[in-house]
Amino acid sequence: MDQCVTVERELEKVQQKFSGYGQLCERSLEELIQYAGGLRREILQTENQDGDLSGTISLVMTQCCKRIKDTVQKLASDHKDIHSSVSRVGKAIDKNFDSDISSVGIDGCWQADSQRILNEVMVEHFFRQGMLDVAEELCQALLNLFQHLNPMWELKRVLCTCDLQSIVWAVSNREMLMAQNSSLEFKLHRLYFISLLMGGTANQREALQYAKNFQPFALNHQKDIQVLMGSLVYLRQGIENSPYVHLLDANQWADICDIFTRDACALLGLSVESPLSVSFSAGCVALPALINIKAVIEQRQCTGVWNQKDELPIEVDLGKKCWYHSIFACPILRQQTTDNNPPMKLVCGHIISRDALNKMFNGSKLKCPYCPMEQSPGDAKQIFF
């Protein structure tokens, strides 16, 4: 993170200089135009006067050319200074970031199955971003699944134009949305009702008619419906001039987009965030620590420290944002459980790893390491978090 801040600081300097340079150019050129225009007017005024003014005009034109030349040279010098600032940004990037990250890779980690998963993640990411043409070129297999999410790509446009397309989608998926306690359909109806309120008394009859759509949600959203119906009293003076002005909060449009994305992905069994984006962000956090530990291993010639494909030699804290599931560490072996070494619940209720279970039982009996209860190892059951 410190490296990013350092580079951002250099980049801000370039942006400030570029902005100042642009203003200086405009100001200098405007001054030259005014100066040259003033000279032209003076020369035209002296044409009708008696006397030889050619020498004076020649001197004035020489001074004018010199001023223009000096201004251009000053602007060129300042432009060169901007180039040096841009060069310092490149040097800051080279100094603070390692361009070669191949040292942290493990040979053989990209097997055929891993490559297939990576390809699927990339295709899924493009579908999520609405870049269907790119995704179709990469893979046709996931197209049918993600076409169901097409309304999500157009949701902001749909809501801003008060189109009923998103509401039709929610109504058609009402049962599944209600099964996961989603408030999406109600909030879409609510926003459309508010859009009618914004039209004033001209939409009063239509708003009353549309209010019938709130009936299926009367039990769970009674107070919200009461507020919406109460706002009808202030249609004549305008909702923006009433105690119900909060209904016009622009943040509601952004909130409904997030809810739509979350619920639509949940219906299709997909994560809200793109796995590719999550993996990339996690990699950016973990990469500096991995490069450092790799350098230490090579410097101290520690062999065999990093030879596991599914386990890192150090703990990398990615923050709570990247916590997606529970992690159980065996209290006996002090190792995280894996698919090959899952957590096992003993009859007494204590939990240890399968490897610890296999190492601790003697003959046909196992004594719990936390309580004196003896039991058969076969009674232990695998648990899932």
pLDDT tens digits, residue range 261-279?
Answer: 788 778 777 777 788 888 8
Does residue 360 belong to any structural domain of this protein? yes
Does residue 367 belong to any structural domain of this protein? yes
Identify whether residues 244 and 341 lie together within a single domain. Answer: no
pTM of the predicted model as reported, rounded to 2 decimal places? 0.47
Among 238, 268, 298, which residue terminates a domain? 268
Local structure of residue 362 (DSSP, 8 states): B
Print pLDDT tens along the chain (385 aa): 567 777 788 888 888 888 888 888 888 888 888 888 888 887 777 765 555 566 677 777 888 888 888 888 888 888 888 887 888 888 877 777 666 666 666 666 666 667 777 878 888 888 777 788 887 777 666 555 565 555 555 554 444 444 567 788 788 888 888 888 888 889 888 888 988 888 888 888 898 999 999 988 988 899 999 999 999 988 888 888 889 888 888 777 777 777 877 887 787 777 777 888 888 888 888 887 887 887 777 777 776 666 655 566 677 888 777 777 677 888 888 788 888 888 988 888 888 888 888 888 777 788 888 887 888 888 888 888 7
pLDDT tens digits, residue range 77-111?
Answer: 888 888 878 888 888 777 776 666 666 666 666 66
Does residue 145 belong to any structural domain of this protein? no
Q: The tokens of 116 are what?
A: 């297939």
- C-alpha–C-alpha distance, residues 343 and 378, integer Å: 14
Strands 343-345 and 381-382: antiparallel
| Cα dihedral sign, 370-371-377-383 | negative
Does residue 231 belong to any structural domain of this protein? yes
- C-alpha–C-alpha distance, residues 13 and 277, integer Å: 29
Does residue 122 belong to any structural domain of this protein? no
Identify whether residues 259 and 174 lie together within a single domain. Answer: yes
Among 254, 258, 234, CA closest to 244: 234
CATH of the domain at 341: 3.30.40
Identify whether residues 243 and 335 lie together within a single domain. Answer: no
Identify whether residues 261 and 333 lie together within a single domain. Answer: no
Does residue 141 belong to any structural domain of this protein? no
Residues 6+ positions from 169 with CB-CB distance below 8 Å: 151
- Type of residue found at 176: M
Identify whether residues 264 and 336 lie together within a single domain. Answer: no
Q: Range of 359's domain? A: 329-382
Identify whether residues 84 and 175 lie together within a single domain. Answer: no
Total domains, the chain:
3
- Main-chain phi, psi angles of 170, to 5 degrees: -65, -40
Q: Would you put residue 163 in left (φ > 0), alpha (ψ -120 to 50) or beta? A: beta
Does residue 295 belong to any structural domain of this protein? no
Contact yes or no for 186/261 (Cβ under 8 A): no
Q: What angle do CA 311, 316, 317 make, to 5 degrees?
A: 135
Residue ranges of the alpha helices (H) in the chain?
2-46, 54-96, 112-128, 132-138, 143-147, 150-153, 155-160, 165-172, 174-179, 184-197, 204-210, 222-230, 251-267, 275-300, 354-360
Among 172, 128, 187, CA closest to 152: 128
Owner of token pair 């579908």: 127
pLDDT at position 126 is 83
Identify whether residues 82 and 171 lie together within a single domain. Answer: no
Residues 6+ positions from 115 with CB-CB distance below 8 Å: none
Q: What is the Cα Rg of the chain in Å?
A: 35
Identify whether residues 169 and 263 lie together within a single domain. Answer: yes
Helix, coil or strand: residue 312: coil
Does residue 310 belong to any structural domain of this protein? no
**Got the DSSP string for 59-113?**
HHHHHHHHHHHHHHHHHHHHHHHHHHHHHHHHHHHHHHS-S--GGG--TT-S-HH
Q: The tokens of 100 are what?
A: 């070669």
